[in-house]
Amino acid sequence: MSNTQQLLQQTLSKWQSWQVEGSTFCSQPQPICELPGGKTNRSFLVASGTFEAVVRINAANSQSLGIDRNREQKILQLLQPTGTVPRLYFSDEQVMVSEYCKGQHWSDSAENRRDLNTALAQIQAIAVADLEKRNYVDYCTAYINQLDPDLDLNLADQPLIEEILSAASAVDMSDWTPVICHHDLVPENIIVTAEGLKLLDWEYAAMGHPALDFMHLYPSDLIVTSLAYDRGSIEPLKVVQRGINDLWSLVQS
């Protein structure tokens, strides 16, 4: 049995310790299928009668990817009352069990933008006292330090690294108030359900720049107009966003 399957079975065997409110399931959930699409972890749909949940087996290289599972759990717990995230049933360093959200992936439309703006406003309004503001230079440097300088990688050349770090420094030194930031808000991580939008996969979340989540989905001119950030502050953020994505891909590969 693989380590993933072993962790899945161990998690299912502890089903009675899951914090599931208002559910009537009375037997151990069973695996239904592996869910597609995850680039970091492996996730499985499990069920017992009409009860359904997602068991996520966390990647063994989580730390090298800049993931703090304790921070993710804390943020998800803070966001539970907003209804914008899946209900959290169980979490530790190796696995997470959460609500299975049925619906469609988010697509760009006036209605979906309005709903997403409302959800992000709720999320960014949550007061957080004991999480540090993200330092984007440190975050990018942690990725860069894992790269092999002897490899012929187009994305790892020194001029590009200097550009990323320069932009990250400009972001860190600019005037902005940190908010809960998802940092990986792509359509695949947003589900349109009958209960409203559900934002998934919070493992890269931290106290970050308030414009960054919008940048994953909206053009920069909308950000400048709606959030009152000038282009001088938006352009470095765009470089940082692209740079983090590229560095993540290099580290993951």
Tell me the pLDDT of the chain (253 aa) as tens digits.
689 999 999 999 999 999 988 766 789 999 999 998 777 889 999 999 999 999 999 998 888 899 999 999 999 999 999 999 999 999 999 999 999 999 999 998 889 999 999 999 999 999 998 999 999 999 999 999 998 766 645 555 678 889 999 999 999 999 899 999 999 999 999 999 999 999 999 999 999 999 999 888 876 555 544 566 666 678 899 899 999 999 998 888 7
User: Which residue carries 């609500």 as its tokens?
Assistant: 99
Whether 244 and 145 share a structural domain: yes
Q: Are strands 95-99 and 51-57 parallel, antiparallel or unpaired?
A: antiparallel
Q: What is the CATH number of the domain that holds 16?
A: 3.30.200.20
pLDDT at 148: 76
Whether 37 and 93 share a structural domain: yes
Residues ≥6 apart with Cβ < 8 Å to 34: 42, 43, 44, 45
pLDDT at 204: 96
CB neighbour class for 68 (10 Å; exposed up to 12, middle 13-18, buried from 19) = middle
Whether 200 and 227 share a structural domain: yes
Whether 124 and 248 share a structural domain: yes
Q: Are strands 88-91 and 42-48 parallel, antiparallel or unpaired?
A: unpaired
pLDDT at 182: 97
Whether 32 and 127 share a structural domain: no
Whether 138 and 216 share a structural domain: yes
Q: What is the pTM of this model?
A: 0.91
Residue type for 3, please?
Answer: N
pLDDT at 220: 56
Round to whole Å and give the CA distance between 122 and 115. Answer: 11
Whether 121 and 236 share a structural domain: yes
Whether 155 and 237 share a structural domain: yes
Tally of structural domains, the chain: 2
Closest CA to 201 of 215, 190, 212, 216: 190
Whether 165 and 196 share a structural domain: yes
- Among the candidates 99, 133, 162, a domain finishes at 99
pLDDT at 229: 64
pLDDT at 253: 76
Q: What is the CATH number of the domain that holds 188?
A: 3.90.1200.10
Q: Which domain holds residue 149?
A: 104-252
Whether 137 and 227 share a structural domain: yes
pLDDT at 151: 60
pLDDT at 160: 84
Whether 155 and 240 share a structural domain: yes
Distance between start and end Cα atoms, the chain: 25
Whether 93 and 111 share a structural domain: no
- Among the candidates 84, 99, 114, a domain finishes at 99
- Among the candidates 70, 99, 128, a domain finishes at 99
pLDDT at 207: 97
